[in-house]
Structure formats: C-alpha cells, structure tokens
Structure 1
Amino acid sequence: MFNGQKPRQPEAALQLPETKVAADHRGATMNGSPEVAAAPRPKAARRNADAMHVILRAMCMAASLTAFSFMVTAKQHSVLVIYGFQFPVHSKWSFSNSFEYLVGVSGAVAIHSFLQLLICVLRLLSKSSVIPSRNYAWLMFAGDQVLAYALMSAGSAASGVTNLNRTGIRHTVLPNFCKPLHSFCDHVTVSIAFTFFSCILLATSVVLDVIWLAKY
C-alpha cells in the first residue's frame, strides 16, 4: 500500500503441544537440578539385611539355649575303680566354676538374643527398619561384641576342664574320669560346642552391624 508495495502477511506458526516429559525435563534444567535424577536407595537390600538380622538372632538364641540346657543337665552318679577298689563318684556342673561361668554367659546371650529377636520381628511387622538409627546400631555392635568375647572365654575355660577330665592328669594315678562319667562329659562337650557356635553367630552379627554403619 505504501510505495506501491503490498503489506506482508504474517506467517502462520504451528506449535506442537509440549509433552509432559519434555516439560519436566525443561523444568528440571531451569531449576538447576541434574538432568538425570538420582535413583532412590534400593529397599530390597535393606530388607535382605533385616531378614539376615532376624535369622541370626533366632539361631543365636537357639544355640545359646542348647548350650545352657545341656550344661545344667550335666550330672551323673557312678562308680570309679582304682586298683580294684570301687569308689562312688558324683559329678555335677555346679562343682566347677568354669561350668557355672558358661551357664551364666549362655543364659545372658539367650535373653539378649530373645529380646533382639522380638524387637526385630515387631519392626518387620510394622514395615520399618530393624535398625532405626545409628545410635541403636552402635549399641547393638557393642553388646554383640562384648557377649561374643564372653562366650569365647567361657567356652575356652570349660573346654580346659573337660579335656582334663577326659585325659586325666599326667604323672599321677588319677584316671580318666569321663569313662565312668561318660554321660556327664558328653553333655558338657555338646554344651561347649554350641557355646562356640553361638560365639560365631554373634561375631557374624557384629560384622553385619559394621556393614550397616558403613552404608547408612
């Protein structure tokens, strides 16, 4: 119209609707967040760790109860023959301080394992983590470690007495007392074996506590 030229017609613009993925991507970029969101911490690994804690507590409670039961039932009356003379003998676990120590430690471990197992099961039923905080994890780590050392010392002390009963005392006329008191010695042997097994289970629990503290 001006200077003999026709006015230019505005070009038609075609704009496609923005997809939700593109909008979210553009919004994340504008907000300064990374383009790829960090993957959430897998819950399956924590659930497996919680299940392992429950299994270890149950096994430790069963092993310590077995050690406790066999030791407190270790008693027997018999007859000992020395040079043709018969002497009545009576053996009981309470006659030895080492055996009494083993009974006390295994009983304490059984109670500790039962309480921890009860707490773990209740937390699993409520769909919460077995270890709620780092302070609780440190407490479990300290308790498991102390009891593991106590079990090791109790089993070592009791095994020394049992070995003496089975082999007798060298250079003396004292015989092998486990021949006439075989039932008593068998009960003590089984109790010591499960005591060391409980120690291994507690040591494994300590390792799991350390792994949890390192990861979380």
Structure 2
Amino acid sequence: MGSISNGRSGSEVGIQMPAMESKDVLEQPALPRWPRLGIVMVATRAVALVMALVSMALMISAKQRGSLKIFGIEIPLYANWSFSDSLEYLVGMSAASAAYCLAQLMLIAHKAVKNTPVVQSRNYAWLMFAGDQVFAYAMMSAGSAAAAVANLNRTGIRHTALPNFCKPLPRFCDLSAVSIACAFLSCIFLATSAVIDVVWLLNL
C-alpha cells in the first residue's frame, strides 16, 4: 500500500508541474507592453526635457547692446530677457517643465532597473496624464506670451514712432525666436506623452 500511495503522489506532482508553469506565464501580462510604450514614453519625455532646457538656455543668453536713430537722434539700446515679464515667464516655465520631465525619467529608469512595469496602476496613469497636460498647456501659454513680445519687437507698432528693434538688436531677436520655437516643441512632446498615458489607461 505504501508503494501505491507513493506512485500516486509522484503522478500528482507530474500533473501539477505544467499547471504551475502556465500560471507563471499568465501572471506576467504587463511585461510585453514595456518595450513598446515604455521606450516611446522615455523618448518623448527626453525630447521634451532637451527642448525645455534649450529654450531656457537660449532665452537667458538673449542679451545685446545696440543703438537706434529716431528723427536723427541716436539712442543707445540694451535688450535683456529679464526686462519682459513674458520672457521671464517662459524661462520659469521651461525650468519647471525640465524639472518635471527629469523627475519622470529618473522614476522610469528606477523602475527599469528593477524590471517592473512603468505604470502599475490606473491611479498612477491618471496622475501622469494630468501632469503632462498641465505642463503642456503651461509651455503653450509661455510660448504664446513670449511670441507676442518677440513679434512686437520685430514689427514695431504701426502709426507710431516705435520702430523695429530687431534691426539694431538681431542677436537678441534671433535667440528669442529659437527659444520660443523650442518651447512650442517641448509642448508638443509633452502633449504626445499625454496621449501615451491614455494608451496606458486603455491597456490597464
């Protein structure tokens, strides 16, 4: 009887082994999604980070001295980004967006080292979606405000004596224009990250 019971226990173990292997496979549904959405998420946030840093650096370096003649009178000019509230707003929002993207990338890298899914719950996915939306709109707002100032500097005001300041201050205007363009690019990639967050929500 003892040998029969041992045979039965051995057969039961042999039957259970494949069942446990299939169970282990079913317990890992999130791992196949990491190479697709995870890499795209890292790429969009990395580009948004670089664009925000470039926008901030270019705007901070936008300084120039020149002179302008109005009615035969030569007037010295000095342009600096800190003279405009809109340009200061762009610098501040670029710094905040860069810090946000850097924090997100560090968190994703930490999860990648631990070989865990980037998004583990719907609540976290909603939080990322909200953050990406907020900073995307903030960069759009800052870029639009700065663009209005840059356009005024370039075109002047019609029917007044206020001239085109970009002629005597070309470097300042060019750096400001590139900085604003980078801010809008950062906004686009942050918005793309928000779309990826929606894909995560649909897959959770």
Smaller-chain TM-score bracket: 0.7 to 0.9
What is the aligned partner in structure 2 of residue 178 from structure 1? 166
SS of 1:70's partner is: helix
What is the aligned partner in structure 2 of residue 129 from structure 1? 117
- Measured at CA, do residues 42 and 104 of structure 1 come closer, stay the same or move farther in structure 2, by a change above 3 Å? closer
Q: Does the alignment pair 1:147 with 2:135?
A: yes
SS of 1:177's partner is: coil
What is the aligned partner in structure 1 of residue 5 from structure 2? none
Give the counterpart of 1:101 among 69, 89, 93: 89
What is the aligned partner in structure 1 of residue 197 from structure 2? 209
Give the superposed CA RMSD: 2.1
Query: Residues 86 and 145 of structure 2 are in contact (CA less than 8 Å); yes or no, is this contact kept in structure 1?
Result: yes
Deviations 1:95-148 (A, max 9, x none): 101001111111000000011111111211211111122211111111110111
Query: Residues 59 and 91 of structure 2 are in contact (CA less than 8 Å); yes or no, is this contact kept in structure 1?
Result: yes
Aligned-partner residue type, residue 125 of structure 1: V
Deviation at 1:42, TM superposition (A): 7.0
Distance 1:42 1:85 in 2: 71
Deviation at 1:79, TM superposition (A): 0.8
Aligned residues: 184
Aligned-partner residue type, residue 85 of structure 1: I
Q: Which has the higher contact order (CA 8 A, sep 6+)?
A: 2
Structure 2: state its 5+ residue gaps: 1-10, 20-25
Aligned-partner residue type, residue 97 of structure 1: D
Deviating more after overlay: 122-131 vs 92-101: 122-131
Structure 1: state its 5+ residue gaps: 1-19, 29-37
Q: What is the TM-score normalised by the length of structure 1?
A: 0.80
Give the counterpart of 1:44 among 29, 32, 35: 32
Structure having the larger proportion of residues in helix: 2
Deviation at 1:44, TM superposition (A): 3.0
Distance 1:43 1:139 in 2: 21
The percentage of aligned residue pairs carrying the same residue is 51
Query: Residues 81 and 87 of structure 2 are in contact (CA less than 8 Å); yes or no, is this contact kept in structure 1?
Result: yes
Distance 2:190 2:99 in 1: 13
Distance 1:63 1:52 in 2: 17
Aligned-partner residue type, residue 44 of structure 2: L
Distance 1:48 1:180 in 2: 50
Question: Bigger radius of gyration, 1 or 2?
Answer: 1
